[in-house]
């Protein structure tokens, strides 16, 4: 249920409504828009909407039929813009994240990040805890890897994103990363999502291998219901009958999510296709469709990568792609924020 306050409703009236709905057992989530303040009421049992409509300053009460409420465009009409290290996701901004699949060594991260900085990237990716299909595959460097990615990112003035796999890792992640990534395989790990709701850093939720858009938005709702409003959604391909590509990258996620939700939607063309030569065309298409960001795997030497080398771009390929994306974005009213490169 959403309570839309009248334009110009006083703070006292807003607080009065919040107190009323809290007494009825609801949690109140306030969204202050340009025209109206909206109060999202979640969790309570039953209340007669007319009782709220009668309160001073209330314009109307809307019952939301969708199962997600805080993530819904109805709750917040304006786009959520999430800023990390000067890079924005959402609104008129398209943020770019790049880096290797996995943190393998200091040298690997350092060599890769040096190239990415030259291109203008300000957010570095790299997995330290890897959700591998086989228990015998490289599982990641763990905390040692997080230390490496943090050190390298600091050296190049970058922020860090990395995948957190379980609740017990959250405090450790908060020491090293700026965006906590929930992987596709964990999109419905509800306990993890709930706990990330209490974190005061952005959370990136990747779409599950067979998740519907509604399920993805419900995953975001889990995080948001804990109080964390900074959720970035990520389309990374879904499983279909197709076998040529690793997954089927569903770019319809961009217009669909944008209509249903105010949260930024970013695209992962690397896992979405699994093939290096498909990454650039799909990235260009994603930007043309108005995505709010991209997360792209780049390795300084993909042929030696321990994980996902075949879908990782060579730094030169990435740099060419990046300049294409900067040209495409303005056509759809967006811009790609970039690292200031100081030439001496
Ligand atoms: C990743 O980005 O490192 C990753 C494992 O992706 P996904 O969860 O989308 O498979
Ligand atoms: Mn990968």
Domain check: are 275 and 321 in the same one?
yes
Residue nearest to atom 5 of ligand 1 (CA): 183
Tell me, using a 6 A CB cutoff, whether residue 122 lines ligand 1.
no
pLDDT at 340: 72
Q: Is residue 204 part of a domain?
A: yes
Determine the straight-line distance between the first and last CA of the chain, rounded to whole angstroms.
Answer: 57
Q: Is residue 25 part of a domain?
A: yes
Tell me, using a 6 A CB cutoff, whether residue 246 lines ligand 1.
no
* Number of C-beta neighbours around residue 281 at 10 A: 12
Task: Report the nearest atom of ligand 1 relative to the CA of 237.
Answer: 9
Q: Is residue 36 part of a domain?
A: yes
Select from 101, 128, 250 the residue to mutate for testing ligand 1; criterion: most ligand atoms less than 8 Å from CB.
Answer: 101
pLDDT at 66: 83
Tell me, using a 6 A CB cutoff, whether residue 39 lines ligand 1.
no
Tell me, using a 6 A CB cutoff, whether residue 120 lines ligand 1.
no
Tell me, using a 6 A CB cutoff, whether residue 274 lines ligand 1.
no
Q: What CATH number is given to the structural domain containing 257?
A: 3.20.20.70
Query: Read out DSSP for 163-177?
Result: E--SGGGHHHHHHH-
Q: What CATH number is given to the structural domain containing 6?
A: 3.30.70.1140
Domain check: are 113 and 149 in the same one?
yes
Query: Read out DSSP for 9-20?
Result: --HHHHHHHHHH
Domain check: are 32 and 179 in the same one?
no
Domain check: are 267 and 312 in the same one?
yes
Q: Is residue 119 part of a domain?
A: yes
Q: In total, how many domains does the chain have?
A: 2
Q: Is residue 343 part of a domain?
A: no
pLDDT at 343: 56
* CA separation for the pair 118, 122 (Å, rounded): 10
Domain check: are 146 and 23 in the same one?
no
Which of 13, 32, 62 terminates a domain? The answer is: 62
Tell me, using a 6 A CB cutoff, whether residue 146 lines ligand 1.
no
Domain check: are 235 and 280 in the same one?
yes
Mean pLDDT per 10-residue section of the chain, whose length is 344 residues? 94 96 93 91 84 96 88 94 98 98 98 98 98 94 98 98 98 98 98 98 98 98 97 98 98 98 98 98 98 98 97 98 98 90 59
Domain check: are 172 and 24 in the same one?
no
* CA separation for the pair 211, 285 (Å, rounded): 22
pLDDT at 337: 83
* Ligand 1 center–CA 121 separation, angstroms: 19
Domain check: are 47 and 151 in the same one?
no
Domain check: are 57 and 86 in the same one?
no
Cβ proximity of 185 and 210 under 8 Å = no
Tell me, using a 6 A CB cutoff, whether residue 183 lines ligand 1.
yes
Domain check: are 101 and 226 in the same one?
yes
Q: Is residue 69 part of a domain?
A: no
**Nearest bound ligand to CA 205?**
1
Domain check: are 320 and 216 in the same one?
yes
* Ligand 2 center–CA 296 separation, angstroms: 9
Task: Report the nearest atom of ligand 1 relative to the CA of 234.
Answer: 9
Tell me, using a 6 A CB cutoff, whether residue 127 lines ligand 1.
yes
Q: Is residue 151 part of a domain?
A: yes
**Nearest bound ligand to CA 297?**
2
Which of 15, 34, 62 terminates a domain? The answer is: 62
* CA separation for the pair 19, 56 (Å, rounded): 13
**Cα angle 101, 307, 105; round to 5:** 70
pLDDT at 132: 93
Q: Is residue 337 part of a domain?
A: no
**Nearest bound ligand to CA 163?**
1
* CA separation for the pair 310, 303 (Å, rounded): 8
Structural domain for 17, as ranges: 2-62
User: Element (H or E) spanning 329, and its range?
Assistant: none
Query: Which tokens hold the place of 28?
Result: 């109140």
Residue nearest to atom 4 of ligand 1 (CA): 183
Domain check: are 58 and 92 in the same one?
no
Tell me, using a 6 A CB cutoff, whether residue 163 lines ligand 1.
yes
* CA separation for the pair 338, 341 (Å, rounded): 9
């Amino acid at each position: 249920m959403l309570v839309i306050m009248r334009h110009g409703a006083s703070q006292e009236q807003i607080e009065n409504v919040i107190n009323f709905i809290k007494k009825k057992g609801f949690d109140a989530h306030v969204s202050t828009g340009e025209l109206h303040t909206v109060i999202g009421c979640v969790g309570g049992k039953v209340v007669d909407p007319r009782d709220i409509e009668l309160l001073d300053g209330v314009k109307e009460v809307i019952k939301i039929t969708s199962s997600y409420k805080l993530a819904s465009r109805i709750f917040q009409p304006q786009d959520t813009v999430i800023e990390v290290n000067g890079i924005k996701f959402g609104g008129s901004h398209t943020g770019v994240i790049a880096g290797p699949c996995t943190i393998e060594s200091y040298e690997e991260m350092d060599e890769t990040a040096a190239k990415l900085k030259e291109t203008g990237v300000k957010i570095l990716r790299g997995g330290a805890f890897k959700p591998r299909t086989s228990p015998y595959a490289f599982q990641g460097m763990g905390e040692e890897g997080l230390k490496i990615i943090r050190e390298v990112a600091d050296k190049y003035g970058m922020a860090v994103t990395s995948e957190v796999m379980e609740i017990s890792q959250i405090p450790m992640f908060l020491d090293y990363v700026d965006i906590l990534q929930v992987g596709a395989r964990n999109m419905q790990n509800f306990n993890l999502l709930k706990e990330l709701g209490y974190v005061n850093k952005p959370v990136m939720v990747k779409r599950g291998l067979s998740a519907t858009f509604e399920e993805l938005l419900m995953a975001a709702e889990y995080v948001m219901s804990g109080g964390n409003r900074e959720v970035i959604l990520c389309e990374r391909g879904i499983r279909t009958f197709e076998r040529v590509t690793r997954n089927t990258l569903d770019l319809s996620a961009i217009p669909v999510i944008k209509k249903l939700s105010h949260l930024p939607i970013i695209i992962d063309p690397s896992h979405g296709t699994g093939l290096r030569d498909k990454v650039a065309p799909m990235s260009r298409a994603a930007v043309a469709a108005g995505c709010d960001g991209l997360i792209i795997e780049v390795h300084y030497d993909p042929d030696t990568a321990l994980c996902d080398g075949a879908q990782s771009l060579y730094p030169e390929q990435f740099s060419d792609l990046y300049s294409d994306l900067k040209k495409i974005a303005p056509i759809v009213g967006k811009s790609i924020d970039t690292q200031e490169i100081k030439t001496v």
